[in-house]
Amino acid sequence: MNKICFFDTKPYDKIYFEALKDQYDIEIEYFEPKLGPKTAFMAKGYEAVVAFVNDAIDKETIQILYDNGVKLVAMRCAGYNNVDFKAAYKKIHVVRVPAYSPYAVAEHAMALLLTLNRKIHRAYVRTREFNFSLNGLTGFDLHGKTIGVIGTGKIGRIFIDICEGFGMDVIAYDPYPLKDSVIRYVPLEQLCRESDIISLHCPLTKDTFHLINEKTIDTMKNGVYIVNTSRGALINSEDLLEALKAEKIGGACLDVYEEETELFYEDMSYTIIQDDVLARLMSMPNVIVTSHQAFLTKEALNNIAETTLSNCREFFDDKVLTNEVCYQCSKGEACPKKNNQGCF
Ligand code: NAI
């Protein structure tokens, strides 16, 4: 039996990994801390470690893991913007779960939009106090509204289908548009100009960092709604806050936040929050924040556990790592992986 260690463990992860580990002949040691330079030494004695979205797999962490004999980092998520691939190249293989339930994320994006627009979050609190007044709860029909979808990958496409089901007019922007698709692609500027709602479904890269900023917000319709279930740093939070205060942006649905690492997934209810931007955003009636939970369905958790354990099994069996990502291929450059070989 091969042994792996697991960082940033939460009870809901453990249930699904425990249920499947024997099938893959893998033993798991669970650690509560996040993976980072201060905790990487805990991986000593394990060839493979499992990590998650808010772990810091930076140059320093990678060097410590490497010095301690780690050869595989198995991300139990799709995004990998928190991995320094350059530092890992030719030292540590990195695998991920490319898709576990795009439905989970797309459905959560719509849940956030419906909640905020129809003020369900406010109505829920009111009616529990037997306040049955409707003042301030007016929403708008989604039917007939224009929604701009940025990123038409697995999640974006499902979100588009959901929006079409609501009778919305969908326009989209993606630098790599799908061929032979009926999706109406438009330039980013046009999307910003014409959309009543904008939903982000692209990865965080150097090109998409702060894609939503003062300048792009200026070009948007007054009262536009922004939905972000992708990565926090796609939005410049300070610019978002200013635009909400100025009532330029009519509402923000945020499942992710650029400074979420130390906050999300933890119970901070007894803590004085030092992040004034987040605190101010949370004080607004037209902002709804969930704690990076768009992925959190039974189906997604099961698929995450299955693919992560299968990724580790391939590694222990010396097979080609189906879901490997490296410095070269993450930049879209030539990599032996294209010929069904390992990245290095
Ligand atoms: P995907 O890789 O299938 O699709 C991403 C799309 O974004 C691709 O079509 C790509 O061409 C496009 N893209 C790349 N650069 C772009 C740019 N500059 N502007 C616009 N589009 C661009 O990824 P998938 O599975 O659809 O996931 C999308 C994102 O959702 C992930 O990168 C991740 O950050 C986020 N995510 C969030 C979760 C959550 O729980 N909140 C869970 C899973 C993913």
**Which residue did the predictor score with more confidence, 299 or 337?**
299
150 Cα: distance to centroid of ligand 1 (angstroms): 9
Q: Which of 120, 196, 92, 199 is nearest to 152 (CA)?
A: 199
- The position carrying tokens 């609501």 is 166
- Of 107, 260, 314, 324, the active-site residue reads 260
pTM of the model: 0.93
Largest Cα–Cα distance in the chain?
A: 64
pLDDT classification of 339: cutoffs 50, 70, 90: confident
Question: Residue 79 is encoded by which pair of tokens?
Answer: 């995004």
Q: In which order are the strands placed within the sheet that holds 169-173?
A: 169-173, 146-150, 197-200, 224-228, 249-254, 287-289
Contacts (Cβ under 8 Å, ≥6 apart) of 317: none
pLDDT at residue number 134 = 98
Minimum CA distance residue for ligand 1 atom 15:
202
Atom of ligand 1 minimally distant from the CA of 152: 9
- The position carrying tokens 């905020």 is 116
Residue 14: pLDDT above 90? Answer: yes
Q: Which of 100, 94, 154 is nearest to 323 (CA)?
A: 94
pLDDT classification of 334: cutoffs 50, 70, 90: confident
104 Cα: distance to centroid of ligand 1 (angstroms): 14
pLDDT at residue number 106 = 98
In Å, what is the CA distance from 265 to each residue of 53, 189, 287, 308? 11, 35, 19, 20
**Angle subtended at Cα 9 by Cα 3 and Cα 14, rounded to the nearest 5 degrees:** 70
Q: Is 102 in the pocket of ligand 1 (CB under 6 A)?
A: yes
Q: Is 52 in the pocket of ligand 1 (CB under 6 A)?
A: no
- Of 93, 96, 108, 292, the active-site residue reads 292
Minimum CA distance residue for ligand 1 atom 32:
203
Give yes or no: 126 in active site.
no
122 Cα: distance to centroid of ligand 1 (angstroms): 30
Mean pLDDT in residue range 244-248: 98
pLDDT at residue number 333 = 82
User: What letter does residue 320 receive in the DSSP assignment?
Assistant: -
- 102-289 folds as Rossmann fold (3.40.50)
Q: Which of 104, 55, 101, 108 is nearest to 80 (CA)?
A: 55
Residue 342: pLDDT above 90? Answer: no
Atom of ligand 1 minimally distant from the CA of 230: 35
Q: In which order are the strands placed within the sheet that holds 2-6?
A: 26-30, 2-6, 48-51, 72-75, 93-95, 324-325
Atom of ligand 1 minimally distant from the CA of 229: 41
Atom of ligand 1 minimally distant from the CA of 156: 26
- The tally of CA atoms less than 13 A away on the side-chain side of residue 11 is 1
Mean pLDDT in residue range 258-286: 94
pLDDT classification of 316: cutoffs 50, 70, 90: very high
- Of 93, 96, 231, 314, the active-site residue reads 231
pLDDT tens track for 43-68: 999 999 999 999 999 999 999 999 99
pLDDT classification of 331: cutoffs 50, 70, 90: confident
pLDDT classification of 336: cutoffs 50, 70, 90: confident
Give yes or no: 292 in active site.
yes
Rounded distance, CA 229 to CA 168, Å? 19
Partners of 171 in beta bridges = 148
Partners of 198 in beta bridges = 148, 226
pLDDT tens track for 112-135: 999 999 999 999 999 999 999 999
230 Cα: distance to centroid of ligand 1 (angstroms): 7
Architecture of domain 2-100+297-339: 3-Layer(aba) Sandwich (3.40)
Mean of all residue pLDDT scores within the chain:
96
231 Cα: distance to centroid of ligand 1 (angstroms): 9
| Type and span of the H or E element at 193 | helix 188-194
Minimum CA distance residue for ligand 1 atom 42:
295
Contact 76, 13 (CB under 8 A): yes
pLDDT tens track for 159-185: 999 999 999 999 999 999 999 999 999
pLDDT at residue number 332 = 77
pLDDT classification of 79: cutoffs 50, 70, 90: confident
Partners of 73 in beta bridges = 49, 94
Domain ranges of the chain: 2-100+297-339, 102-289
The amino acid at 81: N
- 2-100+297-339 and 102-289: same fold? yes
CA R_g for the chain: 21
The amino acid at 181: S
135 Cα: distance to centroid of ligand 1 (angstroms): 38
Give yes or no: 96 in active site.
no
Dihedral sign for Cα 95, 316, 336, 40, please.
Answer: positive
Atom of ligand 1 minimally distant from the CA of 256: 41
pLDDT at residue number 228 = 98
| Type and span of the H or E element at 73 | strand 72-75
The 3-state DSSP class for residue 3 equals strand
Contact 227, 113 (CB under 8 A): yes
Q: Is 229 in the pocket of ligand 1 (CB under 6 A)?
A: yes
Q: Which of 125, 146, 137 is nearest to 225 (CA)?
A: 146
